[in-house]
Structure 1
Amino acid sequence: MDLSHYIDLFIAEANEHLESLNNNLLQLEKNPDDTGILNEIFRTAHTLKGMAATMGFERITSLSHEMENALALFKNGKLAVTPEVIDLLLKCLDNLAEMLKGVEERREDTGFSPELLTALREIAASGEAAPSFSQEGSASEGEMEFNEYEKSVLNSARQSDYIPYRIKIDLAPETVMKSVRAYMVFRCLEDFGQIIKCLPPVQDLEEEKFDNSFQVVLVSRHEEREIIEALEGISEVRVGTIERLTGDDSCGASKTEDAGNKRLSGAPSVSVRSGQNSSQDNFTSHSLHLKTVRVESERLDDLMNLVGELVINKTRLEQIGSTHHLTDLLDAIEQMGRLIADLQTIVMKVRMVPVGQVFNRFPRMVRDLSRELNKDVSFIMEGEETELDRTLIDEIGEPLVHLIRNALDHGIETIEERTAKGKPATALLRLAARQEGNNVIIEVEDDGAGMDLGAIREKAVSKGFLTPKEAELLGDKEVLNVIFQPGFSTCDAVNDISGRGVGMDVVKSKIESLNGHVDIETRKGRGTKVKIVLPLTLAIIQALLVTVGEEHYAIPLNYIDETTFIFPDQIKKVQNQEVMLLRGSVLPLIRLDQRLDVPVVKKTAEDELYVVVVRKEERRVGLIVDHLIGQQEIVIKSLGSLLAGIPGIAGATILGNGQVSVILDIDSLI
């Protein structure tokens, strides 16, 4: 069977499993006695191995298999959870990720590291070897003995209304690929519950060191009949016996309940629920797999574009109805508008993904870097469930990596330095997300040394970013903004952690390209907080339409503080800058007709000038326009590669009358 068209799906699912393993291994390192985490790790590793085996990726299968053996020693209490072993397992995950990347790029050399296999086998050899199947039929027919971990899982399952089953699987005598049939049995049973134990061990099943039968202990909420029917749907597989395990198995003996749990041979003869209930239970068990569907992101983009076209045409119909006073048409358009709004909301939600998809890559990075830098760091993540447009999620990873590396390398002190300052030896690094209105706020905060504004002033002067006079006159906020200048750094030495020539200017430009902005708060000796503000989506936004000359322009609403009007004689000049007084405060003014180089509409001294007050971080500026049209929902269209990067222009939109309107880039204008 040709599996090539499944590769992309395999890579996507395998990467999800690797992310889960990364996070759970870090949790296991902190909580080595947590059997729940250990069981989840073991299950995920087993699933990953099975997927790779099905696709024929032998090296991924081999490394996953050896990892599973090491994890089995954890489960059996034969190997302690130490930082050294966790380090090795994390390196294995890195190598698996590298091999997956090689598969994705269709490379012959996928980056396999055989030394990791050797290290894992040495660990496995150091533990007590698992009993292998040596005598025909002895493993499958013998009694199972449960260790403390397995007993705790069985007891927890019973308390949660799960039923523990011991199932004997018989393979047809003519079966050639017994290990494949065993794998298919495991995949089938995983749909019904959780596999606790098998006899002989998994490794023996894979190496076909068994006759034609084996036993599995499964905890499930399903009835025997459902499990039997599913298993016997597999070619060359028959259920020999199935029995419930009672609570009296602490010594390792498996006992069978008398009522309704007879041994089965050939055709099953067990008591089952009525057909209606059985069917309903079966539907419920399989419906869980239909709750999520994998969709190519390009299809979501196409769907969003179509919704955008609907919004444009709705606006056009509204204008036609208003022009011709068509009341019935306007009523129908209003109803259509509500439906389009509902559709838009649903499509937007489909595009939204939790920021945890990005956040989850950082605990591992913080752990490794803090150990490398001799820093004890408590890393806290908050608001991982906060949702953001998929397009933004794909872009914010790199800026966050730089901010976190900066905090670890330059912000947080070493253990000795913190102790000498009377601070707790363990530093705090916080990554948090929350939604505020139509924006998402992401904060990276540490309780480290903070930024020395005096040192920033000196460095800015010495490097030519500021004149001595400017450095003296500028306030703290303006001085902090110097760190966003290309090439500015307070570090003299370049290192592998954060001083690689990628400065805060890259962070700022990336965030601003997403229609967001960055703000910094710092206190020397107390720490630093970097605040990123991003729009929920880049596809459809609310904007204020204005006219400048004969052209229409759109100003994103999230930048606007207020609108007002003045007369020409109210405009003053301070140091060659036009300003106005707004409630006692001086507000700098920008004439958009001059900035955008459009023909000026002549006005008299009695004509009003409209002012749109916009804000970027702490800076407020008044944009002088000719007319205010009103607020409108607009669909953002790209200008294409030829027109991209024009200062002051963020994109374009199509208005209801078919006219193209330019969307202003407020960040670059002010």
Structure 2
Amino acid sequence: MSNKEQEYKKLFISEADSSVEELETLLTQLEKSPKDQKTIDSIFRITHTLKGNAAGMGFELISKFSHALEDLFSEIKQANINIESEIFSTLFKAVDTLKELVQSLSDDSLNVRYRGIQRKLEVIVENSKKQESYAETASVKEVEDKEKPAKKTKAKKSTAKPKATKSKAVEKQQNEEAKLEELRSAVEANQKQEVSKKDPVFEQEIEVIQEEKETKKISFSDMVQVPVEKLDNLLNLVGELIIERDRLITAHEANVSRNEFNSLKRVSSDLQYSVMDVRLVQVGFLFNKFHRVVRDAASTEKKQVDLIIEGSETEIDRNILQIISDSLIHLIRNAIGHGIESETDRKAHKKEIVGKLTLSARNESEGVIIDIKDDGKGVDVDKIKQKVLNKGWVDAATLEKMSKEEIISFIFEPGFSTNDAVNSISGRGVGMDVVKKAIDSVGGNIKVETEAGKGTTFSLILPSSMAVKSTLLFEVGHSQYAVPLTYTDAVLSLQRKEIYKIQNRLMINHQDQTIETVFLSDLFFPNESSAKVDALKSDAKWNVVLVQYNGKKLGLVVDKLLQQKEIVEKPLKKPVDFVRYVSGVTILGNGKVCLVINIPQIIQKLFNHSVNVNATAVA
């Protein structure tokens, strides 16, 4: 059995244990209030769900046993069976047997006797149906017999003797009533005797059940359900432990050998990653919910679309999956509404009528990558250009110089839509910018690859965990800052002569690209330009951190590069949650607070010209 199948088996056992416990509770309530229809409905629903889940997992014994219970409660729901004390004894024994069957999945040595009690449940249902059938047949005959003598009497009124006719009718009616009473007595006869003739196995197991001593044992599941809030709190405490560990090591590294702290580092790191691992879930639990989303969106658009899921066993932080779930829904609906063509267009382009939408996930060094791929018409770059010009976001000359990726990135701007008609899926200009913000909030990124007539792929690059963030540390002024490696493209050391001035802006060349460069000190300390002036007059090398976001690249000039480090980032809270260009904070080993740079916000502000950063001319 593969690891994935083993995990699903454990999950089934955990859910089945919970269902059986709930059945015991509900049966206890039903014994006190046998007419409580709500409790009967709940028991029927649980047995039905358990039957379906067991069948889906291939556990036929549990599925058939649950089916027998379901049939019995179906008769009870329809008031065909009156629940008596004897039936309750059978039901409690059935639930005990069901519990043992579930336990046998994890304990191969457990030999469960189930045929007798299962057959007894089936016989109760069969007898109920027979009784119902007999009652209906007898009722029909009784009505017919009452009508027949009346008609005969009327037809032979002139010749037949009234007294004799009445006597025969009464005699026939009494015979029918006697037969009906005999049938009812047969139905209410001892069920054990009736079944023992039909099923020898049943008779043997009944004897075993009667002889064996009842030794009830309370068992516990190997799986425990823990609220996410408790895991979050535990992770926060572990994060504080890691920060305190780094502080202690830094404070005593001068007097104590670093090897003295190796055991502490190992145990604390193992604890941190163990807690992170507990929060991981398979993306398949979310992906499998999208079949209905695809079906509804395709129905609205009058299209046929097949959803293909790949890499569902890939694991990611539960909180990340929860945050991006709405974004995935929008991207899927967007792919169906904008990407996949109508049946007529697909026929015209010699494509299969049924469109294909692939939802896949995979692990890479930078985290987890989720792809939403369609085989539609692709993104119309020319249409995006026209919309951008109509909105006046960029002039025609600048637009012509932009790359394909930069033009496509406009779809993530607020208010952008290529659909002129508004429907339930698209055309409002709301959605893709919200998707982008959600991805940014978890420290991720999104890329778009498209080919005309072939389709489009949206790739979400996400961290596998929100607890630990890989960053690059550097200094600006006398303070230390961190930039997430997710947005870091390269680290450059440049001579002053490699910096160019174009239209009062500083530019550098990197891999045949001209990239705007700014002093990070200008953003944080706009009134203090001494560091920049000194750098421009000096011949010393410039340390440039090249970052990218949404297809746009930017060079950040910093004073000193320090090291790469995994940090525990804490979000900004009131009253400092309004601070620009900062996404969160952490505490370093020296006890100082380190700000985490918000790269998406910096690039958006600079490229939208909402912040005026004047570059000093290079002499």
TM-score (norm 1): 0.63
CA contact under 8 A between 1:545 and 1:552: conserved in structure 2? yes
Letter matched to residue 589 of structure 2 = G
Residue 59 of structure 1 deviates from its aligned partner by 6.0
Residue 336 of structure 1 deviates from its aligned partner by 0.8
Q: Choose the corresponding residue for 1:256, options 201, 205, 230.
A: 201
> 1:193 maps to which residue?
101
The yes-or-no answer on 1:412 pairing with 2:343 is no
Letter matched to residue 325 of structure 1 = N
CA contact under 8 A between 1:374 and 1:414: conserved in structure 2? yes
Letter matched to residue 293 of structure 1 = V
For residue 193 of structure 1, give the secondary structure of its aligned residue in structure 2. Answer: helix
CA contact under 8 A between 1:639 and 1:651: conserved in structure 2? yes
Q: Choose the corresponding residue for 2:268, options 340, 343, 360.
A: 340
Residue 576 of structure 1 deviates from its aligned partner by 2.6
Deviates more, 1:641-650 or 1:489-498: 641-650
CA deviations 1:524-545 (Å, max 9, x no partner) are 2211111111111122222221
> Taking structure 1 as reference, are residues 389 and 645 closer, same or farther at Cα in structure 2, changes over 3 Å only?
farther
> 2:255 maps to which residue?
325
Residue 307 of structure 1 deviates from its aligned partner by 1.3
Q: CA separation in 2, counterparts of 1:404 and 1:646?
A: 34
> 2:554 maps to which residue?
621
CA contact under 8 A between 1:563 and 1:611: conserved in structure 2? yes
Deviates more, 1:177-186 or 1:526-535: 177-186
Letter matched to residue 527 of structure 1 = G
Residue 52 of structure 1 deviates from its aligned partner by 10
Unaligned runs of 5+ in 1: 1-38, 76-149, 170-174, 211-238, 245-251, 271-277
> 2:495 maps to which residue?
567
Residue 326 of structure 1 deviates from its aligned partner by 1.8
The yes-or-no answer on 1:481 pairing with 2:409 is yes
CA deviations 1:13-54 (Å, max 9, x no partner) are xxxxxxxxxxxxxxxxxxxxxxxxxx99xx999979959957
CA contact under 8 A between 2:444 and 2:486: conserved in structure 1? no
> Taking structure 1 as reference, are residues 200 and 61 closer, same or farther at Cα in structure 2, changes over 3 Å only?
closer
The yes-or-no answer on 1:426 pairing with 2:354 is yes
Residue 387 of structure 1 deviates from its aligned partner by 1.2
The yes-or-no answer on 1:669 pairing with 2:614 is no
Unaligned runs of 5+ in 2: 1-11, 31-35, 73-82, 103-113, 132-190, 604-619
Letter matched to residue 451 of structure 1 = V
Alignment of 1:37-186 (within 5 A): 62=41, 65=44, 183-186=91-94
Letter matched to residue 228 of structure 2 = S
The yes-or-no answer on 1:639 pairing with 2:575 is no
Higher CA-based Rg:
2
Alignment of 1:442-591 (within 5 A): 442-499=370-427, 502-582=430-510, 585-591=513-519
> Taking structure 1 as reference, are residues 530 and 186 closer, same or farther at Cα in structure 2, changes over 3 Å only?
farther
> Taking structure 1 as reference, are residues 364 and 177 closer, same or farther at Cα in structure 2, changes over 3 Å only?
farther
For residue 309 of structure 2, give the secondary structure of its aligned residue in structure 1. Answer: strand
**Greater per-residue helix proportion:** 2
Residue 643 of structure 1 deviates from its aligned partner by 2.6
CA deviations 1:426-467 (Å, max 9, x no partner) are 110111111111411111111112222112211222233333
CA contact under 8 A between 1:489 and 1:503: conserved in structure 2? no
Identity of aligned residues (%): 31
The yes-or-no answer on 1:595 pairing with 2:523 is yes
CA contact under 8 A between 2:476 and 2:520: conserved in structure 1? yes
The yes-or-no answer on 1:378 pairing with 2:314 is no
CA contact under 8 A between 1:439 and 1:535: conserved in structure 2? yes
TM-score (norm 2): 0.68
CA contact under 8 A between 1:465 and 1:482: conserved in structure 2? no
For residue 211 of structure 2, give the secondary structure of its aligned residue in structure 1. Answer: coil
> Taking structure 1 as reference, are residues 572 and 482 closer, same or farther at Cα in structure 2, changes over 3 Å only?
same
> Taking structure 1 as reference, are residues 498 and 586 closer, same or farther at Cα in structure 2, changes over 3 Å only?
closer
The yes-or-no answer on 1:309 pairing with 2:240 is yes
> Taking structure 1 as reference, are residues 71 and 303 closer, same or farther at Cα in structure 2, changes over 3 Å only?
closer
> Taking structure 1 as reference, are residues 479 and 48 closer, same or farther at Cα in structure 2, changes over 3 Å only?
farther
Q: CA separation in 1, counterparts of 2:39 and 2:525?
A: 60
Q: CA separation in 1, counterparts of 2:489 and 2:320?
A: 24
CA contact under 8 A between 1:376 and 1:425: conserved in structure 2? yes
> 2:231 maps to which residue?
300
> Taking structure 1 as reference, are residues 67 and 549 closer, same or farther at Cα in structure 2, changes over 3 Å only?
closer
Residue 209 of structure 1 deviates from its aligned partner by 11
Residue 179 of structure 1 deviates from its aligned partner by 6.4
Higher relative contact order (CA 8 A, sep 6+): 2
> 1:26 maps to which residue?
none
CA contact under 8 A between 2:585 and 2:595: conserved in structure 1? yes
CA contact under 8 A between 2:247 and 2:588: conserved in structure 1? yes
Residue 68 of structure 1 deviates from its aligned partner by 8.1
Letter matched to residue 308 of structure 1 = G
How many pairs align?
490
For residue 201 of structure 2, give the secondary structure of its aligned residue in structure 1. Answer: coil
Q: CA separation in 2, counterparts of 1:199 and 1:501?
A: 63
Letter matched to residue 193 of structure 1 = L
Letter matched to residue 650 of structure 1 = S
> 1:268 maps to which residue?
211
Q: CA separation in 2, counterparts of 1:443 and 1:651?
A: 28
CA deviations 1:229-259 (Å, max 9, x no partner) are xxxxxxxxxx989x99xxxxxxx9645399x
CA deviations 1:472-512 (Å, max 9, x no partner) are 33222121111111111111222123445532111111111
Root-mean-square deviation (CA), in Å?
A: 4.6
Residue 641 of structure 1 deviates from its aligned partner by 3.5
Letter matched to residue 256 of structure 1 = V
CA contact under 8 A between 2:496 and 2:541: conserved in structure 1? yes
Q: CA separation in 2, counterparts of 1:240 and 1:254?
A: 10
> 1:21 maps to which residue?
none
Q: CA separation in 2, counterparts of 1:549 and 1:421?
A: 60
For residue 519 of structure 1, give the secondary structure of its aligned residue in structure 2. Answer: strand
> Taking structure 1 as reference, are residues 176 and 668 closer, same or farther at Cα in structure 2, changes over 3 Å only?
same
Q: CA separation in 1, counterparts of 2:561 and 2:480?
A: 10
> Taking structure 1 as reference, are residues 70 and 605 closer, same or farther at Cα in structure 2, changes over 3 Å only?
closer
> Taking structure 1 as reference, are residues 368 and 307 closer, same or farther at Cα in structure 2, changes over 3 Å only?
same
Residue 181 of structure 1 deviates from its aligned partner by 5.2
Q: Choose the corresponding residue for 2:538, options 605, 610, 614.
A: 605
Residue 614 of structure 1 deviates from its aligned partner by 2.3
CA deviations 1:69-94 (Å, max 9, x no partner) are 9999xx9xxxxxxxxxxxxxxxxxxx
Q: CA separation in 1, counterparts of 2:521 and 2:589?
A: 24
For residue 451 of structure 1, give the secondary structure of its aligned residue in structure 2. Answer: coil
